[in-house]
Chain A
Amino acid sequence: MTSEFAQPTLRLTESQYATIVGHCYDDLPDEACGLLVGPLGGNGEPTGAVSEARPCRNVDASAVTYTVDPRDMLGAMRAAEARGDEIIGVWHSHTHTDAYPSPTDVRQSVDPAWMYVIVSLRDQAPVLRAYRIRGEGIAELAVTLERG
């Protein structure tokens, strides 16, 4: 039912992956969050390429919730605009649960075109997964790591 929006593939560079996962560990015991900046395709939706992964402050400073500092979002929006890109998604960590959107994540999802990246730190190795969320629907996206 949700497969029709299980695209695009999220294409992270190795350094973007390291930025995201490193930021999630740095913010322990709290949840970490950040924004993805990248291009839109001709359909007005993200292509899956990421030009920048921008760590943001979690103003909740909480182990169970996050809110992206709006000042960081303003900065991301300006940086995106300067590149001719857009904010195309958000990441956050789940410190003790699966890398799967919680009911709160679904309820508070902002944009059906965005890619929602969740990094689980529950186990010894981090697990990064990406999703799109439309209404109550959740579709997992493929994630590739590229050199760079």
Chain B
Amino acid sequence: MAVEIKLPTVLRAQADGQATVSMDGATVGEAFNALVARYPGLRGNLLDDSGSLHKFVNVYKDDDDIRYLDGLDTKLGDGDVLSILPAVAGGV
């Protein structure tokens, strides 16, 4: 399945400056594995040491947070769009 992956500005330097990349994968995990295989600098930003989605990253498949679907096992269809969003937070 060919899917589009949208990258936030802060990660683009590690993907040759691209805002959107196209990857193949039947699941989000497969598409991310293909992504970090091509752009290894992204791995630490997306996945933790155990290979799970990093807690400071949110990933949407179209309009849905994959944490409320099947996480990295979420199935993908042709033309799906994955949006990677950094968690934006702070406090006193």
Chain A residues with a Cβ under 8 A of chain B: 31, 33, 35, 40, 44, 60, 62, 64-68, 70-71, 73-74, 77, 86-87, 90, 92, 94, 96-97, 101-102, 104-105, 108-113
CB distance from B30 to the nearest CB of A (A): 22
Give the nearest-CB partner of B9 in chain A: A86
Flag whether B60 is at the interface (Cβ < 8 A). yes
Q: How far is the CB of A98 from the nearest CB of chain B, in Å?
A: 10
Secondary structure type dominating chain B contacts: strand
Complex CA gap A143/B65 in Å reads 35
Return the contact of B88 from the options A86, A110, A112, A113 (Cβ within 8 A).
Answer: A110
B58 partner residues in chain A, CB cutoff 8 A: 70, 73
A-B contacts at CB below 8 angstroms, number: 74
Complex contact A74–B60 (CB within 8 A): yes
- List the one stretch of B34-42, B70-78, B79-87 in contact with chain A: B79-87
B92, A64: Cβ atoms closer than 8 Å: yes
B92 x A90 contact (CB < 8 A): no
Chain A positions within 8 Å of B85 at CB level: 70, 73-74, 77
Flag if B86 contacts A110 (CB, 8 Å): yes
Please give the distance in Å from A80's CB to the nearest CB on chain B: 10
Chain B nearest CB from A90 CB (Å) reads 5
Smallest CB–CB gap between A8 and chain B, Å?
15
